[in-house]
Amino acid sequence: MLIKYKKNFEKIAMGLLSFMPNEKDIKKLQATMKMYETDESSQLFLWKDEDIKGLIGISVLNENEIEILHVSVNPSFRHQGVGKSMVSAIRNQFPDKKLVPNELTAAFLEKCEADHPTT
């Protein structure tokens, strides 16, 4: 299930974020974490069942749209539907909003949209 990021998950969240191609540099990673902690329109979520397996970060752009900024799954748990489940959980959490990708999440979002052609 999707849980909201809290400070005690900082290390695991940074580890997951670092799998994103634009978050390889530690300074950039720290700046991104700070953005999620301070920017009210940005929210970070973790996917947790027995383990914390993935992360999804969003930004509320306006009353109609949510941008998917980051999606990352621990390599040990990839290809098990965690990524798609996180996108679907965000869709359910914000049912009145359209999900829009950035250049990094576009291809995966497109893959997810194949399952949800109406959004």
Ligand X SMILES: CC(C)(COP(=O)(O)OP(=O)(O)OC[C@H]1O[C@@H](n2cnc3c(N)ncnc32)[C@H](O)[C@@H]1OP(=O)(O)O)[C@@H](O)C(=O)NCCC(=O)NCCS
Q: Which residues pair with 71 in a beta bridge?
A: 56
User: 20 with 72: CB under 8 angstroms?
Assistant: yes
Q: How far is the CB of 39 from ligand X (least distance, A)?
A: 20
Task: Based on the shown chain and the rule CB under 6 A, indicate whether residue 71 belongs to the binding site for ligand X.
Answer: yes
Task: Based on the shown chain and the rule CB under 6 A, indicate whether residue 34 belongs to the binding site for ligand X.
Answer: no
User: 80 with 52: CB under 8 angstroms?
Assistant: no
Q: How far is the CB of 19 from ligand X (least distance, A)?
A: 4
Q: How far apart are CA 67 and CA 76, in angstroms?
A: 26
Indicate the DSSP class of residue 104: T
Task: Based on the shown chain and the rule CB under 6 A, indicate whether residue 107 belongs to the binding site for ligand X.
Answer: yes
Indicate the DSSP class of residue 49: S
Task: Based on the shown chain and the rule CB under 6 A, indicate whether residue 116 belongs to the binding site for ligand X.
Answer: no
Task: Based on the shown chain and the rule CB under 6 A, indicate whether residue 57 belongs to the binding site for ligand X.
Answer: no
Contact footprint for ligand X (CB under 6 A): 19-21, 71-73, 78-84, 104-105, 107-108, 111
